A and B are shown apart, each in its own frame.
Chain A
Amino acid sequence: MTILHWIGNFLRHQLDLVPLSTARWFMVGLYLILMFWIIQLPSTETNPPDRSGTWRGDLKIWAWFALMFQIIIYSVF
């Protein structure tokens, strides 16, 4: 046993104590944090520079769609 094995065993044991339902929440939580961050982005960063597009040009909406699909997927499987 080296110090690396000791660290590995300790971490493995601690992580094994985390219930899978909590681990699933960590993953869904990652997507929720991203959704919150994206909604706060300034519109200059998510729209075409000349603002010529309609709502379809706003990237926030499509990024939200991608994240919502993910939350559904990680909640179901």
Chain B
Amino acid sequence: MAQLTSIDYLVILSYLAATMVIGLWVGSYVRSGSDFFLAGRSLPWWAIGMSLVATDIGGTDLIGVGGDAYRYGIVMGNFEWIGCIPAMLVGAFVFIPHLWRCRVTTIPEYLERRFSVQLRSSVAACWLFLMACNLGVMLLASAVFLKSLSGWDVSVCILATALLVGAYTWSGGLAAVVYTDVLQGVVMICGCLMFVVIGIYEVGGIEPLVDKIHAVAKAQDQQDAWQREQKMTATERLAEKTKPRHDRPTHESEHLSLVLPVDTRSPGPWPGILFGLGLIVGPGYWIGNQCIVQRALGAKSEYEARAAYVYGALIKNLIPFLVAVPGLIALVKFPELGHERADVALPQLVGALLPVGFRGMFVAAFLAALMSSVDSYLNSATTLYVNDFYRRFYRPEADEGQMLAVGRWTTIGFVAWGIYFAFQLQAFPAGIYTIFQTLLSFFLGPTLAVLAAGMLSRSASSDGAVTGFYAGLLTSIGLFSLNQPGVCRWLNLKPLFQVGQPYLYYSIWSFLVAMTFIVIFSYFLRSDPPEKTRYAIGGLNPEGGAA
């Protein structure tokens, strides 16, 4: 990318200064543990809604989705559309209001009220492990991308991001995270929108862009198919030639289609998208991820929590146009990069398209996307540790002042851990980021199963839920292992899945296995007492008392 000028730096510094001012100003109102972890239950719907969207789009997603859109096309938009909007709306009207009504701080806390402390600890430990690892992974992956965008040193990027985010999260907790997310969301959307508009203008408009995408992608597909055919046996080649064309006109590529066949090379075959992403991963993420749900638990009222999710779903309609379209523009401008170098397409496009000042705006948008995710993971990891371990097992009598102090010290601890882990990860290969993303899919299916069973049924028992959670987790790990080339060679088996990144399928099967175990064990083992089952939906009135 071209060098940043002093005007670009001015734009970036203005954004960073505004973020710090908002974060530290909000922090000056924090007086207790409740203020720190749930913003004193005072958050308005518009702030939560924008924060939901900003948190969901990380810095690495911004660049990664662009690179994947270059490789696979607009199918990557599924992850923001069918992967988010149905789940957000079901969450808005069914699950989130119930969690808010239960007056819990964390999702594991709800699981203890509904089921047992064993399940609470198991779920909290899994999510805490994932979030702590993800802090380091996000800091490193984003620093690497930031280096390609701006030329800054990776170590400086890790330290600067962690310390800036750590400062305002330490000061203001959830409220600082949410209100800075609002600014970060606006900067991110405006920065990406400007990029898309300039890009479409440069290509000559929407229609020429569509025609060029089909032409370039079609040529790349043909070259790719030819290369694969050279490695096939005669029988495999014959089978490939007789495959149906899936009713697509011959001049069109798959790049502008959201619905792709079962054997697509992209991560989005339609069964995985519909059943895995739409029905399991999406709901698991928007209902079971503490990092996301925590801000809705801090809403002023049950109505505001619902409204935040609906508002977030509306904004989500726009996001793929902002993060995936730049990848398609890069495909037209730099077709020579090919699949292997698709990840550098976006930084190269920024350098080629954006004039002075605008480049700084895009780097600010990237920083906004990065910081809004890191601060959320930092605050939620702290919340899980302090509420589900420190207060639950060590200091049940801790008052609000002590909770605030411990929350702040824990934040410092996680910042230090994130920096340390990011530096350690530099020794690992680049694929480490994908491995941690796959870890997320291990937990989503089982977490959704126990939450859905607990909220939607009074028959689900704590024994069934604990067994189901572990059975689902083991299923994910087993399927993942059986798909690793080393394991397959050792067992002399073919990989279990034929798509490149089958994590959507891990979620489907882990959810189904978890749910089966919950049903069977709940039916045959002892049922839970009424003080547990009243935490199912319909068991509490709006004030949190028994219905």
Contact = CB atoms under 8 A, between A and B. Distances in A.
User: Does A pair with B?
Assistant: yes
How many B residues are at the interface, by size bracket? 35 or more
Given A20-B261, A66-B310, A67-B85, A45 B93 contact: yes
B211 interface: no
Interface in A12-26: 12, 15-16, 19-21, 23-24, 26
B310 A59 contact: yes
Contacts of A65: 314
Contacts of A48: 303
A70 B261 contact: no
B259 A23 contact: yes
A54 interface: no
B313 A30 contact: no
Contacts of B351: none
A55 B81 CA distance: 26
Contacts of A67: 85, 89
A34 B262 CA distance: 25
B496 A20 contact: no
B497 interface: yes
B376 to A, nearest CB: 22
Contacts of B40: none
A21 B247 contact: yes
Nearest to B313: A66
Nearest to B245: A20
Given A20-B248, A23-B270, A77-B258, A66 B497 contact: no
A5 B310 contact: no
A22 B317 CA distance: 23
Interface string A30-49: 11001000100100011111
A8 B317 contact: no
A30 B273 CA distance: 12
Nearest to B73: A77
A25 to B, nearest CB: 10
A77 B328 CA distance: 14
Dominant secondary structure at the A interface = helix
A72 B478 CA distance: 39
Contact of A20 (B85, B259, B278, B302): B259
Contacts of A63: 89, 92-93, 310, 313
A62 interface: yes
Contact of B494 (A5, A45, A69): A5
B74 interface: yes
Contact of A66 (B93, B278, B307, B314): B314
A62 B317 CA distance: 12
Contact of A34 (B89, B259, B317): B89
Contacts of A66: 85, 89, 310, 313-314, 316-317
Contacts of A77: 74, 77, 256-258
Contact of A15 (B246, B262, B317): B262
Given A5-B493, A77-B74, A30 B263 contact: no
B89 A20 contact: no
Contacts of B248: 20
Contacts of B482: 4
B263 A62 contact: no
B456 interface: no
Given A41-B93, A48-B303, A74-B258, A30 B82 contact: yes
Q: Which of A1, A27, A31 has the most CB of B within 10 A?
A: A27
A8 B93 contact: no
A49 B258 CA distance: 39
B310 A23 contact: no
A27 B82 CA distance: 8
- Listed from nearest, the 10 A-B pairs whose CB atoms lie closest are A23-B270, A69-B317, A66-B313, A77-B258, A16-B262, A24-B259, A20-B246, A66-B314, A15-B271, A59-B310
22 contacts: A1-B494, A2-B493, A4-B482, A12-B263, A20-B247, A20-B259, A20-B260, A20-B270, A23-B259, A23-B271, A30-B278, A34-B86, A38-B89, A46-B306, A62-B310, A63-B310, A63-B313, A66-B313, A66-B316, A70-B317, A77-B77, A77-B258
Interface of A: 1-2, 4-5, 8, 12, 15-16, 19-21, 23-24, 26-27, 30-31, 34, 38, 41, 45-49, 59, 62-63, 65-67, 69-70, 73-74, 77
